[in-house]
Amino acid sequence: MVNEGLDGESVSGFLRRYDRTLRRHTTPHYILIRYGVNDRKDYGVTGFRQRLDELVRRLTTDLPHTHLLLETGMYVDYPSHYAWDRNTRLQPIYESIHHVGRTFGLPVVDIYERLRRETQHGNWDLRVRGYGVVDEHVPVLGAGQDHLHGHDVHWFTNIHPNPEGIAVIADEEARVFAKYWPYSLRQTELRVTTQLQTAAS
């Protein structure tokens, strides 16, 4: 798996490096696309939808045999563990992702909805800590300092997933993969197992 995302990048940034990025890799079997938060800041919801549409059109033309998946992003449990209702800013972005998915007939990994359900069932501790309280550039991954800062809702105001959040996201991705491409996944698992067995012999 290769992560081509860059910190703070929007779709327009990736489109500028689209050709050289594709040249660096052999044709992938799957591509997961998760953008939106930075796009909203750069050119709004409508601009994001237009650029995401352009990206998907280019990928489906240039890589017709590659499976594409779109992904939404984080949910925050305001007001319990977030300083402001960021969901109202994020939902229009995620609705645009679903719209593009319907337009092109692509699966959408709805991370937002999965994290919302997890939170409703009591599994709220899915994001890193520390933004604006200790050092926003060095987030705290777990609850070890909650007894010192947990009275301050800003302690929880970071949008990035912690290891538990990443595990939930990966589980949701695997669920969508298994729904749409169960045979392909079994073949991939078989190849990986064979490679491991060969390496061990």
Q: Quick one: 73 and 148 in the same domain?
A: no
Q: If you search the block for the tokens 């990966």, which residue do you land on?
A: 170
Q: Quick one: 194 and 156 in the same domain?
A: no
Does the CA dihedral 63-21-161-85 come out positive or negative?
Answer: negative
82 pLDDT exceeds 60?
yes
Containing structural domain, residue 148: 127-160
Residue type, 28: P
Asked if residue 4 is part of any domain, the answer here is no
- Domain containing residue 27: CATH number: 3.40.50.1110
Phi-psi region of 8 (alpha: psi -120 to 50; beta: other; left: phi over 0): left
Residue 129 DSSP class = B
Read off the tokens for 166: 């990443």
Reported confidence tier of residue 201, pLDDT bands at 50, 70, 90: very low
Answer yes or no: are the C-beta atoms of 98 and 54 closer than 8 Å. no
Reported confidence tier of residue 131, pLDDT bands at 50, 70, 90: low
Instruction: Provide the CB-side half-sphere exposure for 173 (13 A, CA).
Output: 17
Asked if residue 191 is part of any domain, the answer here is yes
Phi then psi for residue 31, to 5 deg, are -130, 125
155 pLDDT exceeds 60?
yes
Q: Quick one: 71 and 138 in the same domain?
A: no
Percent of the chain with pLDDT over 70: 87
Q: Quick one: 54 and 103 in the same domain?
A: yes
pTM comes to 0.87
Average pLDDT over residues 59-80: 96
Reported confidence tier of residue 135, pLDDT bands at 50, 70, 90: low
132 against 155, higher pLDDT: 155
Look at residues 99, 28, 96 and name the one whose alpha carbon lies nearest to residue 59: 28
Residue type, 184: S
Q: If you search the block for the tokens 């489109």, which residue do you land on?
A: 15
Average pLDDT over residues 151-164: 89
Cα dist from 6 to 3, 14, 35, 38, 155, whole Å: 9, 9, 11, 11, 25
Q: Quick one: 26 and 117 in the same domain?
A: yes
Asked if residue 57 is part of any domain, the answer here is yes
Average pLDDT over residues 83-102: 96
Asked if residue 5 is part of any domain, the answer here is no
Domain count of the chain? 2
Cα dist from 13 to 18, 32, 48, whole Å: 9, 17, 12
Burial of 31 (0-12, 13-18, 19+ CB in 10 A): middle
